[in-house]
Amino acid sequence: MSEHDAAPAGSAPASSNLVMRVLAALVLAPLAIALAYAGGWLWALLVTLVSIGLFAEWLMVVGAGSAALTASGTIVLAIMGFCAAFGALKTGVIAGCVGGAIVTLIARGKFVWAATGFAYASAALLASILVRQDLAHGFAALMFVLLVVWATDIGGYFAGRSIGGPKLWPRVSPKKTWAGAFGSFAASLAVAAGFAACGTGKAVPLLLVSAVLTVVSQLGDLFESAVKRRFGVKDSSHLIPGHGGLLDRLDGFVAAILVAWIIGFLRHGVHSAGSGLMVW
């Protein structure tokens, strides 16, 4: 859900921000979908680069962005991405555990925040790759998660702006509203209904999974907002016009893809998480 979902309707800054958001989405969304469809090392490469960016932005937000810490995390995440992409998952997990320990040692005074950021980026990397690797339903599962998260963001933005009303959690995110939260929820259910109508999964399970993922996505958004507020930062970076940084754009997706993989893993195992998510 957007940080700006309760901005006054018709205001010039809000209108300009919306235009920038739409233009950025028109460029980035097709690229993400194309690489998700391609799968394999192309999707893994994108996910690895994004995960490295998430880690680097996290370090900047928490004030721990030293060259040594950023470089060590980057190398470890690159190794993890390579291993996961080419079937050496156990090696990648071991590399992540060893690398996480190294990152923690280098961080010293802010080792808890650095370790949390590394775990955050690592979880995003592995879950995103593993969900897509399911040959039977990986692409459908990944698109389901992406569309639920996008619908959550879009529904929250427009419902919050048009309806306004009581704030959701003013101390953490003063611009988010309950109207935006319910708009996000309704939009995500529409995505599930669309998948079911197209014959991709059964309606009731998909609606339930969508409900879980949209709530988790919003909690991921609030978590990132709480971290930024803790360190007095507005945007994680200015990398994406109208959206801020990768953390600002992908906070909900990171939470949702991790929970989606957990659901799929519990039902169908490590490498068939896509089927576990979509086939009931």
Beta strands in the chain (DSSP E): 167-169, 173-177
pLDDT at 18 (0 to 100): 67
Region of poorest pLDDT, from 100-104, 234-238, 270-274:
234-238
Single pTM value for the model: 0.90
Amino acid at 43: W
pLDDT at 238 (0 to 100): 83
Contact 184, 157 (CB under 8 A): no
- What are the tens digits of pLDDT across the range 193-229? 999 999 888 999 999 999 999 999 999 999 999 999 9
Domain boundaries, the chain: 1-38+137-280, 39-133
Region of poorest pLDDT, from 85-99, 104-118, 137-151:
104-118
Both structure tokens of 259: 């929970």
pLDDT at 13 (0 to 100): 56
pLDDT at 9 (0 to 100): 45
pLDDT at 269 (0 to 100): 95
pLDDT at 15 (0 to 100): 65
